[in-house]
């Protein structure tokens, strides 16, 4: 698989579907720097020419964003968007939509707390 700054939805589909499964099928968005991408929900591509405000912000800044969009189909729902970089240049952005009303994000944070892991609470 070769992802570039101009990859379209067809080229991003396998990566998007893979990540979608890894996050227990939370809605996922993915786009390259120069082309619209995909919006994936319930194991299906629901938009094959997608962009969103947080994806665009991450493509521009190159920084991870954890925020709640004020527009678009996920308006009012927390998203986490990360850049994919090649040789220091942002080529793609991937986002998940936390439709669990924060439970997903909370579980990730709880799992990172070393004092809880050291006490064996997750085993």
CA distance 82 to 57: 10
Q: In the prediction, which pLDDT does 47 show?
A: 96
CA distance 10 to 45: 10
How many domains does the chain fold into?
A: 1
For 24, the domain range is 9-118
55: three-class secondary structure by DSSP: helix
**Residue 91 counted as domain residue:** yes
Which CATH number does the domain housing residue 52 bear?
3.30.450
CA distance 6 to 77: 28
How would you class 29 by CB atoms within 10 Å of its CB: exposed for 0-12, middle for 13-18, buried for 19 or more?
Answer: buried
Kindly tell me if the per-residue pLDDT of 123 is higher than 50.
no
Question: Can you read off the two tokens belonging to residue 21?
Answer: 């499964």
**Residue 14 counted as domain residue:** yes
Please provide the average confidence, as pLDDT, over all residues in the chain. 88
Q: How confident is the model over 54-73, as a mean pLDDT?
A: 95
**Residue 71 counted as domain residue:** yes
Q: How confident is the model over 72-76, as a mean pLDDT?
A: 91
Q: In the prediction, which pLDDT does 8 show?
A: 95
Give residue 48's pLDDT band: very low, low, confident or very high (50, 70, 90): very high
8 A C-beta contact, residue 40 and residue 17: yes
Q: How confident is the model over 9-21, as a mean pLDDT?
A: 96
């Amino acid at each position: 698989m070769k992802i570039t700054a101009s990859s379209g939805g067809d080229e991003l589909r396998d990566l998007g579907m893979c990540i979608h499964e890894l996050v227990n099928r939370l809605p996922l968005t993915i786009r390259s720097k120069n082309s619209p991408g995909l919006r994936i929900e319930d194991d299906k591509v629901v938009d094959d020419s997608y962009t969103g405000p947080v994806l665009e912000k991450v493509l521009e800044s190159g920084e991870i964003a954890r925020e709640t969009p004020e527009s678009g189909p996920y308006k009012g729902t927390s998203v986490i968007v990360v850049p994919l970089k090649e040789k220091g240049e942002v080529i793609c952005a991937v986002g998940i939509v936390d439709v669990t009303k924060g439970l997903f994000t909370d579980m990730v944070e709880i799992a990172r707390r070393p004092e809880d892991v050291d006490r064996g609470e997750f085993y």
